[in-house]
Structure 1
Amino acid sequence: MISLIMIQLFMFLLLFLLGYLIVKKQAYFLLSGFSAKTEEDQQILIKNGYPQAAGRVLMNSSFILLVGLGLSLFEIPYMIELSWLVMIIYLFVHLLYIGKLDNTKHRKRNSLILKMTIVFTFGILGWASYMGLQPNELSISDNRLQISGFYGVEWPLDEITNIELVDTIPKIQVRTNGFSFANRLKGHFRLEELGKGRLFIYRNSPHFIYIEKGDDYIFINSSDSHETKLWYEEMMNQFN
């Protein structure tokens, strides 16, 4: 969680500083592609107020991240993730709007590039969300534990050192490479007392199966607690 807060704070400071330098110090060269434009095009954009508008968009975007950070410190769930979503939508909508201030000869090309970027960005976000929300299945075959789906893993049964059915998991310190949205957690996380491991869980649907292999571990459950118990019983039958 501390690492996530530091990233959020860094992005707030970065966007605010860029916006401030553009708006207050007229550091227009910080705008992507501005320095590559002809002197004539630069003057047209400045006259139309394009750099100033873009700088204000960056500053306002930074404030959205700051609000999300502040709310997360009050332990309101998902505020950081939500602030990023709101910031991205705000940023793209306003960049499209201020694009009307660009009446240089490359306006159509720049508008097309921005629209393609928007489609690509939301396409990636949509794909990642879809894959992240897909269920993972636990199965045992050929003396191997198999967890299907995104971030799935296979472990030989003879290397598993501990299996437990628990009601809670330790506090999550940071997501190192994974998916986190609403009550769904999937991928690589670092937990208090346990260190790095993998989660495939619905946070609001206890029980959880804890599986340990040396220094590595997995927490997994189903959205249906009855199915979770069936998985656990199947694993215990294999070991017994």
Structure 2
Amino acid sequence: MFILFFIQLMVVLVFLLIGWAIVKKEAYGLISSFHSRPKEEQEELLHNGYPQKTGMLLILTAFVLLILLPLIFTPFSYALEIQIGVMVIMLLGGFIYLSKFEVSQKRKKSYIISISVAVVTFGILFGVFYLGFQEAEMTLKENSFEISGVYGDQWEYEEITKVELLEEMPEVLIRTNGYGMQSISKGHFKVKGFGSSLLFINKDHSPYLLIKTADDTIFLNSKDAEKTKDWYHQLVEQLDKAE
């Protein structure tokens, strides 16, 4: 939690520093391609207030993120997602607004580019969050079980070496490839005492199903505790049949 806090705090400080340098120190070189433009374009941008408004956008974004920062220490499940969403909306929306202050002959092009970037970015983020927040489901077949969704796969019962129902989730140390949000962990993570593991967990929704196979360590649960327990009992039953 504190690592996440300091990462977000660093983002806030970077936005503040860059915004302050542009507004107070006239460090216009921090604005992409500003110094590579012809002199007359630079003068028109300065006349329109484009650099100053760019700096103020960064400063305003930093202050809003700073206000939202304490959310990660509350029970609110989607604090990080809200913070990321607000930052993206403010920056992309802000750059669309800044197109209004572009040089006159490039204003239309700037609107088209900034709106296109916003649409593509929101589309990608929507897809990522939609897939990431889909709850994993376990399906038991005759000779194997399958976990659905992103990072899901299929394993043979004969591969299983251990099945256990845990009341507490072991400490997750680091994400190596996956979704690591405040409310979910999905994908490949390092777990204390278990090493590299495949997680499909909803945080703070015990119990957690631990499945060890010859090659993988899997942690899985549902927001519905009874469903997690059903998965455990069904797996145990299948393993008993196989013996």
Superposition TM-score, scaled by structure 1 size: 0.85
Question: How far is 1:38 from its partner?
Answer: 1.5
- Per the alignment, residue 62 of structure 1 pairs with 62
C-alpha contact 1:67 1:83 (8 A) present in aligned 2: no
Query: Is the Cα contact below 8 Å between 1:65 and 1:80 reproduced in 2?
Result: no
AA matched with 2:201:
I
* Structure 2 counterpart of 1:36, one-letter code: S
Question: 1:174-193 counterparts in 2 under 5 A?
Answer: 174-180=174-180, 183-193=183-193
In structure 2, the residue matched to 1:150 is 150
> What CA RMSD, in Å, does the superposition of the two structures yield over aligned residues?
2.7
**Corresponding position of 1:237:** 237
Report deviation, 1:2: 4.9
**What is the percent sequence identity of the aligned residues?**
38
Match of 1:127 in 2: 127
Query: What is the aligned partner in structure 2 of residue 80 from structure 1?
Result: 80
Give the Cα separation in 1 of the matches to 2:76 and 2:177: 22
CA separation in 1, counterparts of 2:209 and 2:151? 17
Match of 1:221 in 2: 221
In 2, Cα distance between equivalents of 1:170 and 1:64: 34
Is this contact kept in 2: 1:184–1:203, CA < 8 A? yes
Cross-structure match for 2:94: 94
Question: Given the superposition, is the C-alpha separation of residues 168 and 82 from structure 1 closer, same or farther in structure 2, using an over 3 Å criterion?
Answer: same
Change (3 A) 1:213 1:9: farther
Specify the code of the residue in structure 2 equivalent to 1:162: K
Equivalent in the alignment of 2:19: 19
1:141 Cα shift? Answer: 4.1
Which residue pairs with 2:106 in the alignment? 106
TM-superposed CA distance for 1:116, in Å, is 0.4
CA-CA distance at 1:21 after TM superposition: 1.8
- Structure 2 distance, partners of 1:160, 1:127, is 33
Which letter maps to 2:72?
S
Cα deviation for residue 120 of structure 1 reads: 0.6
Q: 1:189 to 1:6 in 2, by over 3 A?
A: farther
Name structure 2 gaps, 5 residues minimum: none
Shift of 1:77: 4.5
Distance 1:12 1:195, change over 3 A: farther
CA distance change for structure 1 residues 69 and 215 in 2, over 3 Å: closer, same or farther? Answer: farther
Question: Separation in 2 of the partners of 1:227 and 1:75?
Answer: 24
Q: 1:45-96 deviations in whole A, cap 9, x for unaligned?
A: 1111110110111122223333344442567654333222111112222222
Aligned partners of 1:168, 1:233: CA distance in 2, in Å? 18
149-158 or 42-51, larger mean C-alpha shift = 149-158
C-alpha distance in 2 between matches for 1:214 and 1:19: 53
8 Å Cα contact 1:41/1:104 also seen in 2: no
Counterpart residue identity of residue 34, structure 1: F
Q: What is the rounded CA distance, in whole Å, between the counterparts of 2:9 and 2:177 in structure 1? A: 19
SS in 2 for 1:136: coil
Q: Quick check: 1:61–1:87 contact (8 Å CA) kept in 2?
A: yes
| 1:186 alignment partner, SS class | strand
State the shift of 1:20 in Å.
2.0
Matched residues in 2 for 1:96 and 1:222: separation? 41
Where 2:222 maps in the other structure, the secondary structure is: coil
TM-score computed with the length of structure 2 as normaliser: 0.84
Say if 2:80 and 2:182, in contact at 8 Å, map to a contact too. no
Contact 1:64 1:83 in 2 (8 A): no
Write the distance in 2 (CA, Å) between the matches of 1:47 and 1:238. 74
Aligned residues: 240
